[in-house]
Structure 1
């Protein structure tokens, strides 16, 4: 997975993140700014999911996306 592309296109990706993890706020997403570790931590905190599952969920989400860049 090339997470650097996510970081570089964070403004476009935020909407897709919000669709999947709607409990994350815009302020939190702005704070995360594409940092995967911070995204994992916020999802874990907000949804009460263990870290390993969050990682798998993010990988699954990423692989389902059709990127237009």
Structure 2
């Protein structure tokens, strides 16, 4: 799944994001609104990781994203 698909379907994918990053609040995920940079920033903040680590986590999540997440 591409990031464009993730961004366009963000309301349907917040559960998967919450499952992956359980320290992100529902308010965090709403404010992310599918913005990749904002998601990375929230991960950095909540998990105290480097920007590179946060980016790698987001990339890994994107790579593992599956269309079945939309159902």
Instruction: Report the TM-score, using the length of structure 1 for normalisation.
Output: 0.90
Larger relative contact order (Cα-Cα within 8 Å, sequence gap ≥ 6): 2
Instruction: Report the TM-score, using the length of structure 2 for normalisation.
Output: 0.87
Output the aligned Cα RMSD.
Answer: 1.4
Alignment match, 2:59: 59
Contact 2:3 2:62 in 1 (8 A): no
Matched positions, count: 69
Unaligned 5+ segments in structure 1 are none
Is it true that 1:2 corresponds to 2:20 in the alignment? no
Q: Give 4+ residue runs of structure 1 displaced > 2 Å after superposition.
A: none
In 2, the alpha carbon distance for the partners of 1:34 and 1:65 equals 14
Unaligned 5+ segments in structure 2 are none
* Superimposed CA distance per residue, residues 17-67 of structure 1 (whole angstroms, 9 cap, x where no aligned partner): 000000101011111100000000000000000001111111112212222
In 2, the alpha carbon distance for the partners of 1:41 and 1:65 equals 20
